[in-house]
């Protein structure tokens, strides 16, 4: 089993710079709630790093363009999936959008896996 996290942004340096600018200038309208929960403007949040290391489950992190190219699937992004032969939605965009902070995201992931 692998958890697959798909961010609602594209890969590449230009996309990355546009994302940083959007987060700084208009954080309330940034389209990726998963990114907001797991990353600060410039780096991954420390609590997220610790969770990733401690959970004991392989994880894959992809931007939407990388995901669609690799798996030939599309979803509403962001999305958290469980890959165990096939892809199963663990948390839909609407669920991720409602989460208020990193601690609640971690709790929701643990509960969804149970």
Q: What is the pLDDT of residues 59-112, one digit of tens each?
A: 999 999 999 999 999 999 999 999 998 999 999 999 999 999 999 999 999 999
- Residue 37's nearest CA partner among 109, 96, 108, 79 is 96
Q: How many whole angstroms separate alpha carbon 3 and alpha carbon 80?
A: 7
Q: How many whole angstroms separate alpha carbon 28 and alpha carbon 41?
A: 13
CATH class held by domain 2-113: alpha beta
- pLDDT (0 to 100) of residue 82: 96
- Of the given ranges (15-29, 34-48, 100-114), which has the lowest mean pLDDT? 15-29
Q: How many whole angstroms separate alpha carbon 81 and alpha carbon 31?
A: 19
Q: How many whole angstroms separate alpha carbon 108 and alpha carbon 96?
A: 9
Handedness of CA 74, 75, 81, 85 (dihedral sign): negative
Query: pTM of the prediction?
Result: 0.85
H or E stretch at 68: helix 64-71
Looking at the chain, the whole-number percentage of residues with pLDDT higher than 90 is 68
């Amino acid at each position: 089993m692998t958890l697959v996290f798909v961010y609602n942004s594209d890969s590449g340096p230009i996309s990355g710079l546009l994302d940083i600018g959007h987060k700084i200038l208009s954080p309330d309208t940034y389209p990726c709630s998963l990114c907001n929960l797991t990353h600060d403007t410039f780096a991954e949040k420390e609590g997220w790093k610790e969770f990733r290391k401690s959970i004991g489950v392989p994880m894959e992190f992809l931007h939407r363009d990388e995901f669609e190219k690799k798996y030939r699937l599309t979803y509403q992004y962001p999305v958290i999936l469980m890959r165990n032969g096939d892809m199963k939605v663990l948390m839909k965009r609407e669920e991720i959008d409602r989460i208020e902070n990193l601690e609640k995201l971690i709790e929701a992931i643990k509960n969804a896996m149970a």
